[in-house]
Each structure stands twice: as C-alpha cells, then as structure tokens.
Structure 1
Amino acid sequence: MPDVDRRRAWLLTVDGAPQSYVDLDAPTHLEFEYARRLAHVLDTAAEPEQPLDVLHLGGGALTLPRYVAATRPGSRQDVVEADRGLLGLVGEHLPVPDGCGIAVHGDDARRWLEAAAPDSADVLVADVFGGSRVPAHLASVAYARAAERVLRAGGIYAANLADGAPFTFLRSQLAGFAEVFEELALIAEPAVLRGRRFGNAVLVASHAALDVQALTRRAAADVFPARVEYGDALRRFIGDARPVRDEDAVASPEPPDGAFSIG
C-alpha cells in the first residue's frame, strides 16, 4: 500500500520501495538520480523557460510535473496514473497549486495513449511501474508506435526503465524504439551499463536530432555521474536484440533484494 512519510519533505513509498520524493518548497529539487536524468531530457527539449505540452505516463507524487511547472511556466501537462488510491493520497497530502497547468487523470497508460489526440505532445515521459516492474503492455513495439503517434514532429520520448545484465528487457526496448524512431540514446550509470549492478536507465527517442552533448554534460555533472550511450556504442549495446510484439511482451525483471531500498 502507498505510504507517505513526512520529514524535511515528502517521501512516497509503494510496498516499501521508494516511489517519489517531493519538496513542496523547492519543486526543482530532484532527489532521485533517475528523476534528474529525465529532467535533463526535459531541460534540453526546448529553449529555457519555453512552455511545453507534456504527457506523463505514471504520476507518483507528481515530482516531474511540478518541476516542469516551476522551470517552464505556462506549460500544459497531463498526468495519467492507474492507481486511483495513490492519486487520492497525493491529492489530499500533496496537492498541486491551482492554475499550474497540471491535469491528473486516473486511467491505464496504454489505454490513454491510444485514445489521445495525435501530434498533441512535445514530450512524453513514461515512468510506469506495477510495484517494481514495468508492465508488459508498455514494453512492445506497438506501444512504441502509440507513443510516436502522440508526439509532434521533433517531439521527445523519455522513459525510466530498470534492468541488469544481460539486459534482455532493456535491449529489447531499445530495439523496439529504434524500429519506430530515428534517434535514440540511453542514460545510465557506468556500473549499470557494465552489468555490475541492477539499476535504472533512461531511454530517449525522437525523430529529431537529440542534444547529446548537453545531455552528456548534465549527466556527467550529477552527484552520481551517468553516461550517455548513442550512435555506434548504443547499437553495439543493442546487439542482436529484436523488438517484441504485444503477444510476446513481458514485464521488466524483478529487482534483486535491496536494489532500490531506502535504508
């Protein structure tokens, strides 16, 4: 069950795993590394402070929507979260300010995506976990095509994924998005990419050229530096992996004990 713990700010956990961290007085503070990497994508998606239309699949405590509202005033954001109990908890304890441009919807991410208007989002951020696993219906090439349909020309898709060596799930996701989008990048800590531990990786896809240099600088400057894989290096990482169809799709692997513990 979701739980909110009040300290200096708010830490939201789901079944004991950290889900979101929010500082209501400092919405640009991002505690979790994966959230900062998604924010790097948002920061480089357009000129500073330029409003964006952003679709978030997975709501949590609305950490990234609050970040966008603070850094890009006037943005329009839709947040889709299937856990209505979680939405109620966040709405009661962590409501977003009136007029901030954030609209929250209780629905399944894939169902919402397939019903959404085409060419309606500048950025699509996917951070959907059923417990600690990405659901199978968000792991197929058909899902990638649904995401591509909703994005405008030059729009950017960014997803928080989790995997460990031999990266069967992550490589299949990259292969699927490479079949749909012209540009692809992956942001992760070197230890994760080398297979030394299970961890988060941010997949980035677009039809337009990605600002890989800016992403690389930002990721390298983090407290826990990350690497950006792109081009030939990323193609070598994908190797012979193939996209998966809906009927063959599986959820991301169960994290090993302690992989995402909060101590």
Structure 2
Amino acid sequence: MLELVVFLCGAVVMVIELAATRVLAPALGTSTVVWTSIIGVILAAMALGYWWGGRLADRRPSPKALSLVILGASVCTGLIGFSRSFVVEMIQASGSGLHFGSVQAVALLFAPPATLLGMVAPFAARIRMTDCARAGSTVGRLYALSTLGSIAGTFAGGFFLISYFGSVTILFLLAAVLAGASILCHVGKWPLKASVGLAFAALYLLAAVENRAQAASGMVDVDTPYQRVLVYPSLDFSTGRPMRALSTGPEGVQGGVYPDDPDALALNYTRYLSLAEHLAPDMRRVLVLGGGAFAMPKYVLARHEQATVDVVELDPGITKLARAHFFLPESPRLRILHEDARTFLNTNGARYDVIVEDVFNSAASIPFHLATVETVRRLYDALEDDGVLVVNTIAALDGPKSRLYKSFFATYASVFPQVHSLRAWTASPETQPQNILLFCFKNTAPRQWTSADAAVQARLERRLDPPDTAGALVLSDDFAPVERYLTGW
C-alpha cells in the first residue's frame, strides 16, 4: 500500500499545480509570469518538504506519522477551495503587482499542500529502508513511483480532469483522494480520516450542483481544455443596455452580446473592428483569428450576404459556449477551425479581403508568437493586394509601458508599407494598457478616412499620429518581451 500511496501523492501534486493556473486566471491571467510563479513556488515548497520529511522520518519513521502528514495535505488542499477568492482579492487590493502578487497567491494557497506532499517520498523511503545495502534501490524505486505518479497526474489533469471536473471542484475531489491515501498508509483512526474524505467528497458534489445552479441563473463558470471562462449577465456600461458577457482574464469582459440584437457589436472595441467594411466594402473572403464570443463573424455574416468567413479559434470550448450563449449560428458561409492561429498561418494558402487579428484580448496574457515579424509576414501573404488587416492590440500609448505599442507598430510597419492606429476608448489614461487597433495595407494607395455615416466618422476620427518608433524593437520569434514591455519593466 505504501507504494500506491507514493504514486497517488505524486499524481495529486501535479493536478494541484495545473489547477492553480485556473484558480488564479480570472484575477492574474495565465501569462508566463503566473506560470513561472506557480512552478517556482511549488518547486520551492516541495524542496522544503523533501528536507522536512527526511528529518521527521529519521525521528518517527512510522506509517502513522506519514498518514497524518498526508491527512494534513488533504485538509490544506480542501482549504484552497474555501479561501481562494478571499486570498486573491486581498492580494489584488494590496496593489502588489503581477510579479509579486502571483508569487504571494501561490505561496499562500498552494505552497502548504505542496510542502506536505513533498514530504511523502523521503518519508516512505525511510520507512521501507531496512537494509543499508539496498538503500539506493529503495530510494530510487519510491522516487520513481512518485515521478510516475506525477507524469500520470500531469496527463490526466491536463487532458481530462481539469476540463471535466472544473478547477475548483476538483480541489475538493483531490482532498478526498488524499484522505483515502491517508487511510491506505495507516488504518489507525480511520473513522476520522474517512470523515474528512467524505466531507470533501460531499463538498465536491455540492460545488458541482452549485455550478449547475449558476448555469441555470445565467452565470456559467467552466474550464475548457485551454482556459477558465466566465459567462454572466452584464450591462453595457455606456448605455445601461443588458448584455451577456464573456471573460477569460482579469481585465473583465473579452466578449459580449446583446440578447435582443445578437448580430450587433456589443463591446466598444469591436465596433472599431467593423471599420474593415468601410475600408474594404466589397469584402468576399474574411479571416478572423480569435473567435471569442464570435461578434465580428456574426456581424459580417448578417451584413454581407456575399461574404464567407473563416474563424481560427484555438479552444473548442469557446466555440461551444458561443453556440450555447452568444447566438453563434450554423451557416454554410462560416468555417471554424480549432487550431492555433500561427500554425494555421504557417500552412495557409488562401488569400482574404479582410483579416481581423483579435487574439491580444488580455493584457495579462499576450500570445507572443502571434506578435512577431514572422507572423506579420504570413499575414501579409494571406491578404489580398487591396485588402485590409485589422489588429486589436492591448498596450499603453505613453509612459514606460508604451514600448509595447511602439514595438507592435514597428513590427507591422516593417512588413506593411501603410499602417494606421486608432484608439478605441479615450477615457482610459494614455499610460495604461488599452485597446489600440492597427489598420495595415499592402500598398501606399490613399484610403478613405471619411464617411457620411456619423457613427463611422466618429470612429475614423480616433486615428492617431504615428508613434515615434526610434529605438523600438521589431518583435521576432527569437526575442519578443511582450509581458516585460506591458508591465513597464
């Protein structure tokens, strides 16, 4: 049984690590900074556990003591489910910033169970060690079992468990599994241990029921294969009009729809994406990179009967939510491809009148490989000679954080002979990240920047003067420090 316990604990610690990304995502995002904090802090916690477990095992090398350690890990894991919101909100209120804040969050929430689980393998090795001549093989076997458990937990958690059970409910399930492992390690006081396991199992079921109740009320909290997504009733802050919102990160709303007018563009920045139809009124082939709530594809399908739309959306879970909650229709003119936008561009041979790149939808998690000059060259090749590329970026216009905007502009201008930028919302301070749209053309022919439509003209007048790109970095696959530039470091 001891070998089975070591295997289970190795598996659980990796599922906890994967769950950490989903627990923190709504508040801190899923950037490299957050991943670095999770990996670094949990490794540090496990190192502490190895040291502490070895010392404790030398003093009390008994299955009973190990059983209590595992039961403690069970309780700490379950407590994450109770304390996660309080801890994250407290850190946000403290203004710690992304780097220190993510380290704090992981240390407070996930380091305690990781430390206790790190104690298991050295403790078990000491219990099994009865012959010094075979010490090496004993230690090697148990650490190998722990590592195999971690491998199993990584694949099971990443491919199946997180997206099936959800990031929060699975914490209670893992706590119940650890309580069971505690009993397997030492049967003593099994009624107490069984009660702890049953309590967390009941909490898991309760959390699952609560998720269904939230869905029935219009609030959906779901873990897709790639991310945690929130769908909830909201209001258009500028008009008070009811809308349904989609959120995948800490910046609030990344997608939205008016239930009484599903084809309208509900979010402010998406209305600027629609300037593509002013600049390419005869569009017939449209490519949208990044589906989200599928606002732009629905808009094109409804207003341009001659147009076909290809949408490249990495996450099939997002498309499923768009079908269920954002009125995404079935249409022979709509083709949805579930793959990374860069891999699509690498093999694409088609050309489009309009390309909309809307993948930079979270300031806390910018996919750097879609911001590089290598990607821009592929976008250039995919665009018709008289077409328009519209890019939604997240960046600051002024101050230390403006290096990202200038780098974006310099990168696209290094490939496209004509690049213009528009600011989607003037109420935001220029020193803070916000939606800035780039409009790129393959030739220098003048474009029409006036319109008889007052609403369109008001948006066209938000065009900015070109930024000073002297010294700006042309982002590349080899070097694209988008997160460092975004935070002003």
**Equivalent residue for 1:214?**
450
Instruction: Establish whether residue 10 from structure 1 lines up as the match of residue 244 from structure 2.
Output: yes
1:238 to 465, 469, 473: 469
Distance 1:190 1:58, change over 3 A: closer
CA gap of 1:243–1:192, structure 2 versus 1, over 3 A, is: farther
- Residues 163, 253 of structure 1: 8 Å contact kept: no
Q: Tell me which protein shows more helix as a share of its residues.
A: 2
SS of the residue corresponding to residue 228 of structure 1 reads coil
Letter in 2 for 1:54: V
1:150 counterpart residue number: 382
How many Å apart are 1:10 and its aligned residue? 2.1
How do residues 92-111 of structure 1 correspond to structure 2 at under 5 angstroms? 92-99=324-331, 101-111=333-343
- Cα distance in structure 2, aligned partners of 1:31 and 1:99: 21
The reply to whether residue 251 of structure 1 matches residue 473 of structure 2 is no
Distance in 2 (alpha carbons) for counterparts of 1:194 and 1:18: 19
- The structure with the larger Rg is 2
Structure 2 counterpart of 1:2, which letter?
V
Q: 1:211 & 1:27 partners in 2: Cα distance?
A: 31
2:403 aligns to what? 168
Higher relative contact order (CA 8 A, sep 6+): 1
Task: Find the aligned partners of 1:4 and 1:57 in 2 and give their Cα distance.
Answer: 21
SS of equivalent to 2:385: strand
Displacement of 1:61: 1.0
Does the CA contact (< 8 Å) of 1:189 and 1:226 recur in 2?
Answer: no
Q: CA deviation at 1:192?
A: 7.8
The question of whether the paired residues in 1 share the 8 Å contact of 2:411 and 2:473 is answered with yes
Report what 2:321 is aligned to.
89
- CA shift at 1:152, angstroms? 1.2
After superposition, the C-alpha distances for 1:51-78 in whole angstroms (9 at most, x for unaligned) are 4211111000100011111111131111
Q: Percent identity?
A: 26
Unaligned runs of 5+ in 1: 257-263
What is the deviation of 1:103?
A: 1.4
Determine whether 1:44 maps to 2:278. yes
CA contact (8 A) 1:78 1:103 kept: yes
CA distance in 2, matches of 1:200, 1:237: 19
Shift of 1:210: 5.4
Question: Which whole-Å deviations, capped at 9, do the CAs of 1:6-31 have from their partners, x for residues lacking one?
Answer: 46442112245211111354244222
Name the structure 1 match of 2:297. 65
SS of the equivalent of 1:245 reads: coil
Name the residue aligned to 2:430.
195
Distance 1:6 1:100, change over 3 A: farther
For residues 114-156 of structure 1, what are the alpha-carbon distances to aligned partners after superposition, in whole Å with 9 as ceiling and x for unaligned? 11114x2111101114754321101111111010011111121
Q: TM-score by structure 2 length?
A: 0.46
Contact 1:58 1:82 in 2 (8 A): yes
TM-fit CA distance, 1:245: 1.7
Question: How far off its partner does 1:189 sit?
Answer: 5.0
What TM-score comes out, normalization by structure 1 length?
A: 0.81
Bigger mean CA deviation after superposition, 13-22 or 23-32: 23-32
Contact between 2:361 and 2:394, CA under 8 Å: does it hold in 1?
no
Aligned length: 246
Assess, with a 3 A threshold, how the Cα gap between structure 1 residues 200 and 219 changes in structure 2: closer, same or farther: farther
RMSD after superposition: 2.9
Q: Which residue is equivalent to 1:32? A: 267
Q: How far 1:96 moved relative to its partner? A: 2.7
Post-superposition, which runs of at least 4 consecutive aligned residues in structure 1 deviate over 4 A? 189-194, 215-220, 252-256
How do 1:131-142 residues align onto structure 2 when only pairs under 5 Å count?
Answer: 131-132=362-363, 133-142=365-374
The 3 A distance-change label for structure 1 pair 192 and 155 is farther
Residue of structure 2 in register with 1:260 after alignment = none
Match status 1:77 vs 2:304: no
